Structure 1
Amino acid sequence: MRASDADRERVAQVLHNALSEGRITVNELEERLTTVYAAKLVGELKPVTADLPTSSAALEAAPTRALGFPDQRIGGHPGSPVSIGVMSGAVRKGSWVLPPQHTSFAFWGGAEIDLRQARFADRQCTITAVAIMGGITITVPDDINVDVTGIGFMGGFVLEDKSGAPPAPPTAPTVKINGLGFWGGVVVYRKPAQRSEPPQIEGA
Structure 2
Amino acid sequence: MEARDLRVSDAEREHVGELLQRAVGQGMLSLGEFTERMDTVLAAKTRGELNAVVVDLPGMQIAPGYLAAAPGPTPAPGATPAPVPTPAPPGGQPLVIRGRMSTITRKGRWHVPPALHLDTRMGSTTLDFTEAVMQTQVVHLTIDDSAGSITLILPPEATADLNDIDTVAGSTSNKVRTGPPYGPLHIVARGRIRFGSITARYSYGTTLRRMLG
Could you say which TM-score interval applies, normalised by the shorter chain? 0.5 to 0.7
Match of 1:104 among 102, 118, 136: 118
1:34-76 CA-partner distances (Å, limit 9, x unpaired): 24666xxxxxxxxxxx9xxxxxxxxxxxxxxxxxxxxxxxxxx
Task: Give the superposed CA RMSD.
Answer: 4.0
1:61-106 CA-partner distances (Å, limit 9, x unpaired): xxxxxxxxxxxxxxxxx99712222122211122233222211122
TM-score, normalised to structure 1, is: 0.54
Cα contact 1:111–1:136 (8 A) shared by 2: yes
- Structure 2, unmatched stretches of 5+, are 1-27, 59-68, 70-91, 207-213
Higher RCO, 1 or 2 (CA under 8 Å, sep at least 6)?
Answer: 1
- Alpha-carbon offset, residue 141 of structure 1: 3.3
1:30 maps to 2:42: no
- Structure 1, unmatched stretches of 5+, are 39-49, 51-77, 196-204
Provide the residue aligned with 1:138 in structure 2. 152
Query: Relative to structure 1, is the Cα distance of residues 168 and 192 closer, same or farther in structure 2, using a 3 angstrom cutoff?
Result: farther
- Please give the residue correspondences for 1:64-143 in structure 2 after superposition, counting only pairs within 5 Å: 81-143=95-157
Alpha-carbon separation, structure 2, partners of 1:129 and 1:10? 28
Cα contact 2:153–2:203 (8 A) shared by 1: no
Provide the residue aligned with 1:62 in structure 2. none
1:134-176 CA-partner distances (Å, limit 9, x unpaired): 22212233523321121221222x1231x5x685654754321
TM-score, normalised to structure 2, is: 0.53
When structure 1 is superposed on structure 2, of 27-36 and 174-183 the one drifting more is 27-36
Alpha-carbon separation, structure 1, partners of 2:132 and 2:114? 13
Aligned length: 149
